[in-house]
Amino acid sequence: MSEPLSLSETTPAKAWTATVLAWVFPGLGHFYLGKRRRALFYAAVVTVTFLFGISLEGRLDTPEPGAPLTYLATFASLGSGLLSILARLLIENPRGNVLSVTYEYGCMFLRTAGLMNLLLALDAFDVAMGRKP
């Protein structure tokens, strides 16, 4: 594993780049910062959580007028970045299967994967700014 960035190497531009990369794909921000083992672990856990959510026929949330909680759910769901966008394009039914016995679990896995990735984006920013090893 490579050494953490020194203070002279940490710039806001680098931190924002790491944050955006971390959102685009789980672990990419940490990989960019040289935290390769951690990046692989994060990529594996978040991607597996996301794919379980899809396989359990959960819903990739979209905002619905008159249902304010769907905005929060959409924010969480879109946190997975490219995974969420690609899944919306690739899968047959991104709204999930409400009749499936695992639908609620699927939704929860998908939203959790998004929230995990948003935490990773914040973590990448902190690492890049030297606030965290």
Binding residues for another protein, rule: CB under 8 A, are 38, 41-42, 45-46, 48-49, 51-52, 54-57, 87, 90-93, 96-97, 99-102, 105, 108-109, 112, 116, 119-120, 123, 133
Query: Which is closer to another protein, CB of 13 or CB of 79?
Result: 79
Q: How far is the CB of 65 from another protein (least distance, A)?
A: 25
Q: How many helices (H) does the chain have, and how many strands (E)?
A: 6, 0
Query: Which is closer to another protein, CB of 13 or CB of 101?
Result: 101
User: Which among 60, 10, 50, 58 has a CA at the least distance from the CA of 27?
Assistant: 50
Any idea what DSSP says for residue 75?
A: H
Q: How far is the CB of 15 from another protein (least distance, A)?
A: 17
User: Which among 133, 122, 15 has a CA at the least distance from the CA of 79?
Assistant: 122
Query: Which is closer to another protein, CB of 34 or CB of 71?
Result: 34
> How far does CA 126 lie from the centroid of its chain?
16
Query: Which is closer to another protein, CB of 13 or CB of 90?
Result: 90
Q: How far is the CB of 22 from another protein (least distance, A)?
A: 12
User: Which among 59, 63, 37, 50 has a CA at the least distance from the CA of 116?
Assistant: 50
The pair of three-digit structure tokens given for residue 87, joined into one six-digit string: 């899944």
Q: How far is the CB of 97 from another protein (least distance, A)?
A: 5
